[in-house]
A and B are shown apart, each in its own frame.
Chain A
């Protein structure tokens, strides 16, 4: 699954630079806009893992975007870019749920490391959600069933849907594996 970034800054040059390094140095997909007013519309039609946003912009600023995400129960993590001068506000932003902030100018590696961290966080969040989901099932047999499905799914990804090998290593009969994944026999 490709992981996506939305970058928002009223400065198109900054966006071009971000677009360039993300595309060149990572596997993430990036979408950019230099008009923060477009953000709700972009979010309506798409989901992202990470939003990199300038703090101070006309229209919606970085904190407005954060609020929009909260109000709409969105899972995107926000990284705020800020000039050194507005560092205090950036620190405030952290307390309000911003994932991290980065002061401009920054090194290529710095922003990539911050994004990687946010992506990892998102991955952990999804994992944890999966397990929350399994553990909250009642009765116990249903939880087992959910677990088995998740287990088999990961097994399949590990062995690239090679059912013979999946069965050999897991000890679950091939037929059962196929039926769990809904694959044709």
Chain B
């Protein structure tokens, strides 16, 4: 295969700078020793990271985000695994319509979902509660949990299952001892991707969050609306660091291009 020419490499360099500049600048400004927005030219300082500790809103919001992401991704899997197995293994009328329905939270704008949930939960009398946030996020992350589980279930070799059945395994034993371990990499990656989606979501959540149930991105957004100072950059830097850690983990266990594209490539 031919190599890239100099023009292509210049384009590539500019492109990478364009993609990284805003992220790098946030991380750099977070280390500024000054009291205002500036690059850390006179040495690095952790004062703005220490300053986070004296803002309980951010700390609180972080814990809300963490629990919300972990819980909603786990609950979504309880619904997504059976659905993925059914879609992967059975041909039945309405199968395509059903998977379109299950993937629809990807298609529906988050602002519309936010409004629909706000109306629904207010009418149901649980507006602004953590329970409402969990239910909303289960729907939000369901497509991600479903897609990766589906890819794993489709690519699975079923002769092991046949062997287990022929040896007299019941359906629950079959699932617990054979099927689940085989699709586990897909399930774990689905959970991780769902967690990241939930952890970073702002548009839908901002309609549902009340004081006390604000997630970290919502808190950051509301803060940025009022004023932009080094404190919010240090919070952003922490969020970026957490996401990067999850991303590298995800790349190691499953391969990032596969996670993002969502199709199963068994040659890997």
A binds B: no
Residues of A in contact with B (beta carbons under 8 Å apart): none
